[in-house]
Amino acid sequence: AKFEMTNLEMKVGQTLKLKGKIETNIDSFAINLGQGADELGLHFNPRFNESIIVCNSKGGGSWGREQRDDHMCFSQGSEVKLTVTFQSDEFKVTLPDGYQLTFPNRLGHSHLSYLNVRGLHISSFKMD
């Protein structure tokens, strides 16, 4: 079952900090942020089977074009800390080793109300 939050009220300029433990025996995990399951400004999806991080957006239920980053610094079963900063033009994701990746705010969202997390057992959630 995936961890889900609605009515998040995350505004431009805010940062979300997530801590959790990556599950074992999974091919990938994902953090999705947007305005609903079919309106995702950021789909952040590290894949163990391909050793790559895939980011994408979903508008009106349709996926956009994938952006791939080979800085795959996650391992199954490990504790991780991630931050996502929401800016008007892009999302900035800081990985546990400090590496930052960005993904454009393709849907032009000015606030985010929805979060879901799959394959990562959340132990802490913080919004600044």
What CA–CA distances, in Å, run from 77 to 27, 69, 88, 128? 12, 21, 33, 27
Residue 37 interacts with other proteins (CB under 8 A): yes or no: no
Residue with tokens 């802490």: 124
Give just the sign of the alpha carbon dihedral 99, 2, 33, 103.
Answer: positive
The correct pick among 11, 68, 81, 121 for binding other proteins (CB under 8 A) is 121
Residue with tokens 């959340």: 122
**Which of 12, 72 has the CB closer to other proteins?**
12
Q: What minimum distance in Å lies between the beta carbon of 14 and other proteins?
A: 10
**Which of 48, 125 has the CB closer to other proteins?**
125
Residues in region 1-20 near other proteins by CB under 8 A: 1-9
Pair 38, 58: CB distance under 8 Å? yes
Pseudo-torsion of CA 67, 71, 74, 80, nearest 10°?
Answer: -90
The correct pick among 51, 75, 100, 123 for binding other proteins (CB under 8 A) is 123
Residue 122 interacts with other proteins (CB under 8 A): yes or no: yes
Amino acid at 43: H
Residue 25 interacts with other proteins (CB under 8 A): yes or no: no
Query: Site residues (CB under 8 A) for other proteins?
Result: 1-9, 121-128
